[in-house]
Copies of this chain bind each other. A is one copy, B any other.
Amino acid sequence: MVLRDTKGLIKATALTLFNERGVSHISGNTIAEHCGISKGNMHYHFRTKQDIILALFADIVAEVSGSWREDTDQPTVKHMAEMFERQLEMIWRYRFFYREMSSLVRDSDELHEMVIAHRDVRIEEVRQFFEALVESGVLVKPRSRESLRYLVVLSWIFSDNWLNFIELQGEEEDAEVINTGYDMIIELFYPYLTESARTEIYDSYQAIKADFLSPDKD
């Protein structure tokens, strides 16, 4: 008998189904069926669909709080570019969440609190990272400390809602859309990039685009 990570299987299956059809159209039973497990086994791991959503959001937080933090310790153009790319790519992977965030947090106080706590911590981390980018000569100093926070919040709101904006338009969401999102975040920060950072970002940029458009990407 092969040991299976049933919890992981349930989360991955739910994620795919939520992304494809929307949370309200997917029941716990549907997820169990797609996993090829019994309702009882499903219930053993997750009591409700809501619990799966909480677990998926916890994965988002773990991902951001884990390796990402190492990046923000290194204030270089490369790490800045990779942070933007990684953020958009993650939003793409968990797109059901960013698409339905308002209603999901309305339905769960626990999720709502997790989302707020994560956002507060992360926005402050990114702001500090941007201060470090100013120190290291990647960004020119904005008008004020407040300005820097505004730019971070602008990019945050943009990232969270970019796929929704595209989806409304009826355009297909694909890797090209993430690339355009990346271009737009760069546009936002472009006036603050120093000359050398502009050259460097143009190079890392080509690499990121090539990476996103490679056929093995989702």
Within 8 A of B (CB), among A88-103: 99-103
| Interface status of A4 (Cβ within 8 A of chain B) | no
| Interface status of A132 (Cβ within 8 A of chain B) | no
**With A160-B161, A190-B143, A192-B191: A184-B153 Cβ-Cβ less than 8 Å:** yes
User: Which chain B residue shows the least CB distance to A144?
Assistant: B187
Contact of A184 among B154, B170, B191 (CB under 8 A): B154
**Closest beta carbon of chain B to A209's beta carbon, Å:** 15
| Interface status of A121 (Cβ within 8 A of chain B) | no
Contact of A158 among B100, B119, B154, B164 (CB under 8 A): B154
B154, A187: Cβ atoms under 8 Å?
yes
| Interface status of A105 (Cβ within 8 A of chain B) | yes
Is chain A's binding surface mostly helix, strand, loop or mixed? Answer: helix
| Interface status of A197 (Cβ within 8 A of chain B) | no
Chain B residues lying within 8 Å of A116, measured Cβ to Cβ, are 168-170
Within 8 A of B (CB), among A22-79: none
A102, B100: Cβ atoms under 8 Å?
yes
A103, B103: Cβ atoms under 8 Å?
yes
B150, A184: Cβ atoms under 8 Å?
yes
| Interface status of A183 (Cβ within 8 A of chain B) | yes
B115, A168: Cβ atoms under 8 Å?
yes
Chain B residues lying within 8 Å of A151, measured Cβ to Cβ, are 187
B150, A183: Cβ atoms under 8 Å?
yes
Chain B residues lying within 8 Å of A210, measured Cβ to Cβ, are none
A145-181 interface bits toward B, Cβ cutoff 8 Å, 1 = contact, 0 = none: 0010011011011101110110011100000000000
Further contacts, 17 of them, CB under 8 A, given A112-B168, A147-B187? A101-B168, A102-B102, A103-B103, A105-B168, A116-B169, A119-B168, A150-B183, A150-B187, A153-B165, A154-B154, A154-B184, A154-B187, A157-B158, A157-B162, A158-B158, A161-B161, A191-B191
